């Protein structure tokens, strides 16, 4: 199997697997393209349907939700749903908290991971590889194992129901350190040697030479961290209880929860639309770095 895959000249083509006789290769490719394209179109309609349903419901009147048959185009467009949700719950606070938590956590991860990544990639010190191995091994442990002692720790720090409990423990990432180290290993050493000969300190080399070259990797790590932090639910659910400290995920869950009996789906959908927009915009803006992150972690991981 392996040998066949690597060395093309060894691929023996048995009878019956040759291209269909009588059809030119170009015609055949075109035919396959049409079939695949149609399949992808059907699939993407299914995939986009929930978004349509969310947006269309968000503009309906309460009564319009329960029409039969259901309609995709609301009979009357009730734009006020989007104002009403802010009256029901302080969504501006949820956004502010999420933004605050995610930005600080991201800044922290970039800071600690790039510093340690540089040391693990470049500097020689005792127990370096052992320490790095311990970093890697913690990546295997599910969060559920840590969450109980971590909660107890937060109680000792008196950080329960405080935003710093969402920010500070998240600022130290084994995965981020790993990503930084791997990227910095690919930077040619000659660039630093010149600096060392000129008598630059290790910090100057890190700050003036390595960090500017690490831009793309920092962007990737930053986007992943920000999005994960924005999307986090279990840990905030454990830590935060006051309404004014809730993040957007918690706020959405609270909105659904307080109306569970007779859910005003039109308002809940309006809130959903508002809550998914920021992260989607971030993704569209930072697409390049996001996809690059998937490529590097996916193939070398």
Partner 1 sequence: MAAKLSGLQRKEELAGYLFILPNLIGFLVFLVFPILAAVYLTFTEWELSAPPTFAGLANFRAMIGDDIFVKAFGNTFYYAFVAVPTGVFLAFVLALGVNRPMRGVFAFRLIYFLPHVTLTVAAAIVWAWIYHPEFGIINYLLSLIGIQGPNWLFNSKSAMPALIIMSNWKGIGYAMLIFLAGLQGVPAELYEAAVMDGANSWYRLVKITIPMLSPTTFFVLTTSFIGAFQGFDQFYIMTNGGPSFATTTLVLHIFNNGFRYFKMGYASSMAFVLFLCILCITLIQWTSAKTWVHGFTQD
Show the beta-strand stretches assigned E in 201-240: none
Does position 218 interact with partner 1 (CB under 8 A)? The reply is no
Cα(197)–Cα(204) distance, integer angstroms: 13
Nearer to partner 1, 39 or 215 (CB): 39
Q: How far is CA 150 from CA 146, 166, 169, 240, in A?
A: 6, 11, 9, 14
53/74 Cα distance (integer angstroms): 11
Using CB under 8 A, which residues numbered 249 to 288 contact partner 1?
249, 252-253, 256, 263, 265, 268-269, 271-272, 275-276, 279-280, 283
Smallest gap from Cβ 268 to partner 1, in A, equals 6
* Smallest separation (angstroms) from partner 1 to the CB of 155: 8
Q: How far is the CB of 20 from partner 1 (least distance, A)?
A: 7
- The answer to whether residue 242 forms part of the interface with partner 1 (CB under 8 A) is no
Residues 88-127 binding partner 1 (CB under 8 A) are 111-113, 115-116, 118-120, 123-126
- Alpha carbon distance 207, 200 (integer Å): 11
Are the CB atoms for 172 and 116 separated by under 8 Å?
A: no
129 to 148: interface string for partner 1, x by CB under 8 A: --x--xx--x-xxxxxxxxx
Q: Which tokens in the block code for residue 242?
A: 């006051």
**Site of tokens 């972690």:** 297
For residues 28-87, which are near partner 1 according to CB under 8 A? 32-33, 36-37, 39-41, 43-44, 47-51, 53-54, 57, 65-66, 68-70
Alpha carbons 196 and 157: distance in angstroms, whole number: 43
With contacts defined by CB under 8 A, name the span among 75-83, 84-92, 187-195, 291-299 that binds partner 1.
Answer: 291-299
* Residues numbered 176-195 forming contacts with partner 1, rule: CB under 8 A: 177
Tell me how far apart the alpha carbons of residues 239 and 154 are, in angstroms, rounded to a whole number. 8
For residue 4, give both structure tokens.
Answer: 């066949």
């Amino acid at each position: 199997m392996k040998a066949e895959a690597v060395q093309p000249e060894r691929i023996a083509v048995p009878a019956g697997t040759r291209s269909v006789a009588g059809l030119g290769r170009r015609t055949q490719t075109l035919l396959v393209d049409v079939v695949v394209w149609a399949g992808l179109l059907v699939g993407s309609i299914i995939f986009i349907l929930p978004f349509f349903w969310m947006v269309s419901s968000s503009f309906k009147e309460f009564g319009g939700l329960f029409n039969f048959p259901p309609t995709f185009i609301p009979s009357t467009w009730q734009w006020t749903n989007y104002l009403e949700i802010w009256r029901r719950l302080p969504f501006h606070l949820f956004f502010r908290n999420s933004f605050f938590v995610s930005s600080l956590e991201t800044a922290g991860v970039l800071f600690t991971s790039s510093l340690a990544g540089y040391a693990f990639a470049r500097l020689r010190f005792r127990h370096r590889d052992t320490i790095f191995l311990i970093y890697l091994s913690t990546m295997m442990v599910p969060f559920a194992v840590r969450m109980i002692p971590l909660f107890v720790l937060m109680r000792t720090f008196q950080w329960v129901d405080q935003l710093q409990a969402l920010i500070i423990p998240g600022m130290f990432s084994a995965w981020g350190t790993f990503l930084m180290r791997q990227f910095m290993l690919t930077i040619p050493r000659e660039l630093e040697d010149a600096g060392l000969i000129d008598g630059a300190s290790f910090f100057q080399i890190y700050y003036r030479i390595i960090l500017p070259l690490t831009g793309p990797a920092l962007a990737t790590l930053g986007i992943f961290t920000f999005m994960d932090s924005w999307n986090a639910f279990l840990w905030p659910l454990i830590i935060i209880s006051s309404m004014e400290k809730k993040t957007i995920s918690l706020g959405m869950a609270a909105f659904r929860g307080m109306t569970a009996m007779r859910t005003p789906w039109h308002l809940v959908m309006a809130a959903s639309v508002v809550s998914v927009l920021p992260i989607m915009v971030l993704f569209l803006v930072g697409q390049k770095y996001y996809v690059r992150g998937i490529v590097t972690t996916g193939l070398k991981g």
